[in-house]
Chains A and B, each alone.
Chain A
């Protein structure tokens, strides 16, 4: 039995480590005694919100997780879908918000590193990464530091790995000022038969630790950083931020894929949050086995490390493999070839206990499954927040809309607004082409990645408008989904599955938890309507600073499938004379819009409504026409409305358009309303009727808007702006803001 803690000290330390007293009592009950210091650390990490999902787990059961393409749903390091021809795609999104708010470069870099490890752990070669970022407004120096640092960190890590960063999104809003969001998504490709799970088995098998040495970096990252709010002491938590070494990770990718390819491993897991403790206990719990680990065997980069420090260190670039003893030599030879350390640190046992030794001394002896599976599950209180009535009742009709002579100027201002302007400044810092799969480069609706040696491709998009979610979380979450669906549909892809990253405030506040529950519920309903399962994801709670929560931000990462990659479509207008058709129709939806923020500085009103049936039909119409090969461009309507959609397609194609809008709405509403369920497609004139017939057949409204051509965007009786001016507004903003302009 390990040396147990003093009766007075133990509960105090438990609280200090972020546990509640009743959780401490439960640990005592499980062990039948007080815990040792190592045991208490291990429980405190594994039972933190970040690792255990103790507040969110029940709500997450609402998500549909099954479907014809699903090979692996939630619960493993990443979800996996089948994409045909024996190929499978693994993907997942994860947050690294709190570390990044303290040290943006390393926080973002290790966020990328962590999610990439989750992918190759499954046996898949990482082929792409995306991200979803939120910061405060860039007029503040601190926000510019965070933004520039995070972008540099994502690039610095991903570029070195040779994994292309192909897409993402970023919004700037005061709501994220004290708590930026860094969500990283990674995608991997593998043969179906190579799917590897992190399930330890085989009594007598060896635990092989591969990769970096273990230090004191990142101790308590999951508990004291990720599972608590920020206050004025946040800077003191800098030592809890891990430091990344992408070169080591690149070697790990190659070595692990070679080890798996040679069939030398029984299981593979990465060391992420809560380090060795979580990796080992989750592998043991899934396999129903015990483990016996000696921490003195773990290669250390600092002197005099305590057993508990070794067990919970979040030093990066480490993997834990389980293998049969006869394969040890061959496995270590592969590691050595790649210049990686590999050390046997323990064995698989039949005791069901996770035993940690320091040489001859036992320092922890825990029923293994209780770490991963027995964390308390809470039913947090919910209460509809009072702010909702106030913001929703904001009278949008009372706002003075731009006059008929101000429409062109308003469009230019919207194109230049931080949430709409071109993201080129960001993605030109990312290698987005390495691996030669990127068919559609960043800047279109979705990234398109071909699958070599097949006719297929996947399209990927990450989306969430936090402003909508703040105004109405159920609707906001649905809009995140339908926008992602439209984005991949514009590329010609049918949505197949999603991952999500649910970023919210403190779940112990009933108002915050209500928004979480509503968002999960809205997202679930959207997924069910589209028959698109959630196959992986991450919950990031406690995103608050000084008691102020961020906007509810349930980010969706959606993967769609294109059967014939030759038929994929981009957003840019192509040829003079092409017909421009809008699928869907425009209503007066100015609540939560960019226009409202621009002219009134307000975040108010009700966000656009969502008709899930209509959304599906609009996507289907676009996809079917693209599959027929008649669509030359496709671009959805989102922030800034139809006018921004048209302008972006003009800019990307470097060609103008002549548009006539016929409806009863006021011009400013026609142009800038953010009604959902709209996609603008272009075709050769002779194919326009085919698109119209498709819309009729799928029972959706459409409007023939005009023709591509000229050098200006001309919308009859409304505006007339040269494409060069549109481009100037769209392109210049981000760089100017970063330089403090």
Chain B
């Protein structure tokens, strides 16, 4: 089992994802955005950062990187893909996930630990029981998820909403989303559950020395699942 972590020009969390995966005992290697070969990788992570400076629109340029055509093919063949923060933005731009991420409602960058409620979903990357509350840092300027009403109905009906911003006790209130996200959506997956996009950064909370361990299952679940197949 080997994670591949894509480096786009301007990515800045790729080393953290690699560190987290290796810390948990998994194999992980970089994939340069100009490469077009994903052979040898069992799961692909698009890391956080500011690909192409977030110029034009977050993720709008990165989706045209040569590697993205391969990532799309990989995902369509059922390969597991996780996009974290800027990676999530890129996945929506590449139409692997529906919706878009707008500027935070407060018009400010936000970086803090954030309680999230795990929802009942089809996501292959997470098997925590629905209702579990995890504390994962958010760190973004454009995390305000939006989609049309029809898409939202579909997301709900198909179990594609994976994580929602919540209060520390797990209740999801209208003000729980720090960025104004629609329906408090923090993370979604595709219908099949193999493509997962989320704004929070699970790679920041795997090492007890640095802010906790609530992110561990975001890496271990997929490894286990692939091992079972």
Contact in complex: A439, B210 (CB < 8 Å): yes
| Interface: A525 (CB within 8 A) | no
- Interface with A: B5-13, B125-133, B150-158, B219-227, which one? B5-13
Say yes or no: A155 contacts B211, CB within 8 Å. no
Cross-chain contact B108 with A429 (CB below 8 angstroms): yes
Q: What 0/1 readout, one digit per residue, does chain A (218-253) give for beta carbons within 8 Å of chain B?
A: 000000000000000000000000000111101100
Q: Are A433 and B204 in contact (CB under 8 A)?
A: yes
Q: Are A433 and B50 in contact (CB under 8 A)?
A: no
With an 8 A cutoff between CB atoms, is A392 at the interface?
A: no
* CB of B14 to closest CB in A, whole Å: 9
- Please give the distance in Å from A738's CB to the nearest CB on chain B: 10
Residues of B contacting A450 with CB < 8 Å? 209-210
> B residues within 8 Å of A by Cβ?
9-10, 12-13, 15-16, 19-20, 34, 48-50, 52-55, 108-112, 137, 139, 141, 201, 203-204, 207, 209-211
User: Is A160 an interface residue, CB under 8 A from the partner?
Assistant: yes
Contact A247 B53 (CB under 8 A): yes
Q: Does A435 reach chain B (CB closer than 8 Å)?
A: yes
Distance in Å from the Cβ of A567 to the closest Cβ of chain B? 12
- Whole-angstrom distance between the alpha carbons of A441 and B211 in the complex? 9
For this complex, 22 residue pairs linking A to B, each with C-beta atoms less than 8 Å apart, are A159-B50, A159-B139, A247-B10, A247-B50, A247-B54, A247-B55, A250-B53, A337-B34, A338-B9, A339-B9, A432-B111, A433-B111, A433-B139, A433-B201, A434-B12, A434-B16, A434-B139, A435-B15, A436-B20, A437-B210, A439-B210, A452-B19
Closest B residue to A254 by beta carbon equals B9
Q: Are B53 and A160 in contact (CB under 8 A)?
A: yes
Cβ contacts under 8 Å, B108 to chain A: 152, 429
Question: Is residue A428 within 8 Å, beta carbon to beta carbon, of the partner chain?
Answer: yes
Task: Answer whether residue A162 sits at the interface, using C-beta atoms and an 8 A cutoff.
Answer: yes
Task: Closest B residue to A568 by CB, please name it.
Answer: B209
Docked pose: A146 CA to B27 CA in angstroms: 47
A438 CB–B CB distance under 8 Å: yes
Contact B53 A438 (CB under 8 A): no
A324 close to B (CB within 8 Å): no
A565 on the B face (CB < 8 A): yes
Complex contacts, A688 vs chain B, CB 8 Å:
none
Determine if A435 and B16 form an interchain contact, defined as CB atoms under 8 angstroms apart.
yes
* Given A247-B50, A565-B209: A436 touches B10 (CB 8 Å cut-off): no
Q: Which residue of B lies closest to A427 (CB)?
A: B111
Q: How many A-B residue pairs have CB under 8 A?
A: 87
Q: A433-B204, A436-B207 are in contact. Are A428 and B13 (CB under 8 A)?
A: no
- The 8 tightest CB contacts between A and B, nearest first, are A162-B12, A247-B53, A160-B50, A429-B109, A436-B16, A428-B112, A431-B111, A155-B109
**A162 contacts which chain B residues (CB < 8 A)?**
12-13, 49-50
Inside 8 A of A156's CB, which chain B residues have their CB?
A: 109
A contact set with B: CB distance below 8 Å: 152, 155-156, 159-162, 245-248, 250-251, 337-339, 427-439, 441, 450, 452, 565-566
How far, in whole Å, are A566 and B209 apart by their CA atoms in the complex? 8
Whole-angstrom distance between the alpha carbons of A363 and B13 in the complex? Answer: 46
Question: In the assembled complex, how far is the CB of residue B10 from the closest CB belonging to chain A, in whole angstroms?
Answer: 5
CB closest residue in chain B, given A250: B10
Inter-chain contacts of B201 with A (CB < 8 A): 433
Which residues of chain A are near B52, meaning CB under 8 Å? Answer: 247
Whole-angstrom distance between the Cβ of B24 and the nearest chain A Cβ: 13
Specify which chain B residues have a CB less than 8 angstroms from the CB of A247 in the assembled complex: 9-10, 50, 52-55
The answer to whether A436 and B9 touch (CB under 8 A), given A162-B49, A250-B50, is: no
Distance between Cα atoms of A161 and B10 in the complex (Å): 8
Chain B residues within 8 Å of A437, by CB: 210
- A159's closest neighbor in chain B, by CB? B109
Q: In the complex the two chains form, what is the Cα distance from A38 to B34 in whole Å?
A: 43
Q: Give Cα distance in the complex from A441 to B135, angstroms.
A: 15
- Closest chain-A Cβ to B199's Cβ sits at a distance in Å of 13
Chain A hits for B210, CB < 8 A: 433, 436-439, 450
Across the interface, do A436 and B110 meet the contact criterion of CB distance under 8 Å? no
Across-interface contacts of B109 in A (CB, < 8 A): 152, 155-156, 159, 429-431
* Minimum CB–CB distance for B103 against chain A, Å: 13
- Min C-beta distance of A27 to chain B, whole Å: 42
Is B111 a contact of A251 with CB atoms below 8 Å?
no
- Not counting A250-B12, A250-B50, A441-B211, a sample of 18 additional A-B residue pairs whose C-beta atoms are within 8 angstroms of each other reads A152-B108, A152-B109, A160-B10, A160-B50, A162-B12, A162-B49, A162-B50, A247-B9, A247-B54, A250-B9, A251-B10, A427-B111, A428-B112, A435-B16, A436-B203, A438-B210, A439-B209, A566-B209
Contact, CB under 8 Å: A429 / B53:
no
Question: How far is it, in angstroms, between the C-alpha of A566 and the C-alpha of B15 when the chains are bound?
Answer: 23
Query: A246's contact among B9, B53, B110, by CB below 8 Å, is which?
Result: B53
Distance, CA A439 to CA B204, complexed state (A): 11
A246 to B50, CA, bound (A): 10
Find the A residue at minimum CB distance from B49.
Answer: A162
A429–B209 contact, CB under 8 A? no
**Closest-CB distance, B168 to chain A (whole angstroms):** 12
Please determine whether A433 and B211 come into contact, CB atoms closer than 8 angstroms.
yes
User: B111 to A429, Cβ gap below 8 A?
Assistant: yes
Q: B111, B203, B204: which contacts A428 (Cβ < 8 A)?
A: B111
Complex Cα spacing A437 to B137, Å: 14
Tell me how far the C-beta of A155 lies from the nearest C-beta in chain B, rounded to whole angstroms: 5
Q: CB distance A428 to B209 under 8 Å?
A: no
CB atoms of B111 and A430 under 8 A apart: yes
Q: How far is the CA of A554 from the CA of B222 in the complex (A)?
A: 53
The chain B residue with its CB closest to the CB of A125 is B15
Q: Are B16 and A251 in contact (CB under 8 A)?
A: no
In the complex the two chains form, is A429's CB within 8 Å of B110's CB? Answer: yes
- Cα–Cα, bound, A430→B109 (Å): 7
Chain A residue numbers with a CB within 8 Å of B137 are 433
A338 to B203, CA, bound (A): 25
B112 proximity list for chain A (CB < 8 A): 428
Docked complex Cα distance between A524 and B108 (Å) = 41
Return A62 CB to nearest CB of chain B, in Å.
Answer: 40
Q: How far is the CA of A152 from the CA of B52 in the complex (A)?
A: 20
Chain A residues within an 8 Å CB radius of B15: 435
- CA–CA, A436 to B210, complex, Å? 7
The CA of A10 and the CA of B132, in the complex, are separated in Å by 75
Of all chain A residues, the one with the shortest Cβ separation from B34 is: A337
Contacts of A152 in B (CB 8 A): 108-109
Q: How far is the CB of B217 from chain A (nearest CB, A)?
A: 18
Q: Give complex CA distance A251, B50 in Å.
A: 11
The 8 Å CB contact of A436, one of B49, B50, B204, is B204
Residues of A within 8 A of B12 (CB): 160-162, 250, 434
